[in-house]
Structure 1
Amino acid sequence: MTARTRLLSLLEAMATPHPLDRYLELVDPMTTVRDLRARVVAVRRATADTVTITLRPTRQWRGFRAGQFVQVGVVVDGVRHTRCYSPAGADRDTDIELTVKAHAHGLVSGHLRERVEVGTVVTLSQAAGTFTLPTPRPPRVLLISGGSGITPVMSMLRTLVAEGYRGDVTFLHYANRAEGVPYLAELRACAAGNANVNIVLAYTDSGGGDLRGRFGAEHLDVAAPWWREAETYLCGPASLMRSVREQYDRHAPGDRLHVEEFAPVVASPDPGAAGATTFRASGVTAENTGVSLLEQAEAAGLTPEYGCRMGICFSCTTVRASGCTRNLRTGELDSDPDTPIQLCVSAAVGDVTLSL
């Protein structure tokens, strides 16, 4: 243990019952010992339903790889909420650029779109995720996105261009219309300035794009005739992801398709659900309704920690002391005792006891 670490431990012991950073934030929320935070240094609203935010993180930030995500925490009406977003900038950038699309009932996205301003301080996690470009870079890269799924693949495109990558790159993006593409001017400029970059825009509700309508097998042949040999990176709405997966499963088997999903797992409650879920530390037992254990906990009045609600951030990990659970994404059953599970993507199968 270094002298600095010993001093820090002593100061934190003296600051009990709160961590030292709880006191420092009263003076300056960007002055931290352990916590990673960021200040909003720029806000741009380029489309009717998105906001692009530039964050300047504290010294604890370790950077990111193009395609990864971070957890951002903001206070809305006195309550801190955490969501996952992918940086859109090149991975060598020191600041973090996020483009957030406001959803009709999105508490955090709506707050950021309408109310965030320069000077706002947010909490931040280190970057995580395996949706990244390989090293060395492949000779051909196909980037496919739709809607707000543009951000991680935009980061990949910017990173490749910044590196001076000379392989073939096609960026295929789906939007309702041109007005809904956050980086439209930059994408066009990128294609104009780089002979190896091909930008293909598909508009589902209007003309004027390079392609028209929703994804179809013919789109791949038009956008990137070499798609079967390329490394493909896909992020977008569930319908787009499903259609592209089906095409690759039929005509390009293997592991060339890489996907990132930023939507909560949607699973119908199990009509045959039975048994009870016991939250041991809370002294609460609730009927198993077949929904996710996170939803069951909240319905029982508990407030477990969570971040993404989609199984990628692990914030809601809790020990299952006994019983059997089903993974809502894969359908896999697991009954090993004293095993960490993710509440947001797990449902009880019969009686289950959690350490929560």
Structure 2
Amino acid sequence: MAIQQKSRQSGIRRKFSLLSLFEAMATPHALDRYLELVDPMTTVRDLRAEVTDVHRSTADTVTLTLRPTHQWRGFEAGQFVQVGVVIDGVRHTRCYSPACSQYRADGLIELTVKAHPEGLVSRYLHANAQVGLVVSLSQADGVFHLPTPRPESVLLISGGSGITPVLSMLRSLLDEGYSGDLTFLHYAYSEKDVSYRAELEQIAAEHDRVRIVLAYTDQTSGGDLHGFFGTEHLNAVAPWFAEARTFLCGPPGLMRSVRGVYDDLGLADRLHFEEFAAPAPTADADADGDVNFSGSDVVATNSGKTLLEQAEDAGLTPSYGCRMGICFTCTSVKTSGCTRNVKTGETDTEPHKKIQICVSVPVGDVEIEI
């Protein structure tokens, strides 16, 4: 046994030595840059995915099925991935949550993307995604997922495109044979805006212990509920909600309403949520000082916007992904000065510290390595 283990370890070391040799020979470009010229899905280190199916179930959404390369390590229901596409020669990255079960047998990933009016990547995918498109992909990340062991009762609440991570939770729980109380409450403008409506109706028909509730805010007929979220909706669909664990993802209005109700009832610790909406701070009219982008020898007058926005206004192109403080792609080193986090309101004066420039605004003079 010891001899076999030593042999395997020796084999692994030889493979890494050969890989290092090939990469050294490929300098100045990474080996994957050459391999992608032959086949974009043949990679040594880069994680990518190929679109194998495209489906448009509503007017403004597109569902993509992706086949990831061998580096993919799977995900937990509720987590997100970063998807990158090249638009006009520039790679742009955004965060999306898989909608499929984490136990999907074929190893494929399902993403449903809503085309937002200001969404560069979402609009591009909605209009141009086709079978064979290869995108960059990150490993799954995020703390929004079901706990282990599973709670005795689960309430899933979603709205709009926020359906994807909680649908993944629903599908995963069904694959596990979950036997506790389970309600899925989804909000949409009308029935035509509900992604996966046919599947949800099928789940409701096939699983007696699963309650599927569709709530329409603009449609007064059909569906199960009408209007906006409130305690009356909670009591109607899950009277046991106080003892349950609730998982929430949706647009800002729904998020605020649910969080407000749970706070008022003293149940904030039983609510788990994921926000996929960028913070919308207004520029500080009283902003002063200068922002020194030391990596580019550019100095700009502080406009009160986030450091990412100010860098772009100054003609710089820093890396970023989600633009909402989730993915940490935009992390840069603040050399000096004070910044404020627009999501938490907290200020930071520590020098030589990595910060997320998409959710950080300068307070006075700031020097940042961009």
TM-score, normalised with respect to structure 1: 0.98
Q: Deviations 1:4-32 (Å, cap 9, x if unpaired)?
A: 22221121111111111000000000000
Letter in 1 for 2:171: R
1:146 CA displacement: 0.3
Question: 1:233, CA displacement in angstroms?
Answer: 0.5
Aligned ranges for residues 30-109 of structure 1 at < 5 Å?
30-93=41-104, 94-109=107-122
CA distance in 1, matches of 2:254, 2:25: 54
- The two structures, once aligned, show a CA RMSD in angstroms of 1.0
Letter in 2 for 1:257: L
Counterpart AA for 2:261: Q
Residue in 2 that maps onto 1:281: 295
Aligned mate of 1:270, from 260, 265, 284: 284
Checking the alignment, whether the CA contact within 8 Å between 2:259 and 2:268 is kept in structure 1 is no
| Cα offset, 1:78, TM superposition | 2.5
- Report the Cα offset of residue 79 of structure 1: 2.1
| Structure 1 Cα separation of the partners of residues 333 and 120 of structure 2 | 29
Match of 2:28, SS?
coil
The AA in structure 2 aligned to 1:167 is G
What's the CA shift for 1:77?
2.5
Match of 2:311 among 297, 300, 312: 297
Hey, what does 2:192 align to over in structure 1?
A: 179
Consecutive aligned runs of 4 or more in structure 1 exceeding 3 Å deviation: none
1:132 to 133, 138, 145: 145
2:336 to 319, 322, 338: 322
SS of equivalent residue, structure 2 residue 351: coil
Counterpart for residue 351 of structure 1: 365
Q: Deviations over 1:242-292 (max 9, x none)?
A: 000000000133411011011111101111111111111111111111100
The aligned counterpart of 2:208 is: 195
Instruction: Say if 2:118 is the partner of 1:110.
Output: no
Aligned to 1:26: 37
- The residue type equivalent to 1:99 in the other structure is T
Q: Name the residue aligned to 2:5.
A: none
Alignment pair present for 1:15 and 2:26 = yes
CA contact 1:228–1:252 (8 Å) conserved in 2: no
Residue 230 of structure 1, aligned match among 204, 220, 244:
244
Q: Percent identity?
A: 65
Distance in 1, Cα, partners of 2:295 & 2:223: 56
In structure 1, give the amino acid aligned to 2:29. H
Q: Which residue of 2 aligns with 1:339?
A: 353
In structure 1, what residue type is equivalent to 2:39? D
Give SS of 1:301's match. coil
| Whole-Å separation in 1 of the counterparts to 2:108 and 2:65 | 7
Match of 1:168 among 170, 181, 186: 181
Which whole-Å CA distance do the structure 1 matches of 2:231 and 2:69 have between them? Answer: 45
2:133 alignment partner AA: T
Deviates more, 1:7-16 or 1:315-324: 7-16
* CA–CA distance in structure 2, aligned partners of residues 84 and 70 of structure 1: 6
Q: Any gaps of 5 or more consecutive residues in structure 1?
A: none
TM-score, L = length of structure 2: 0.95
Give, as a single letter, the amino acid of the residue that structure 2 aligns with 1:40: V
Q: In structure 1, what residue type is equivalent to 2:267?
A: P
- The amino acid that maps onto 1:347 is V
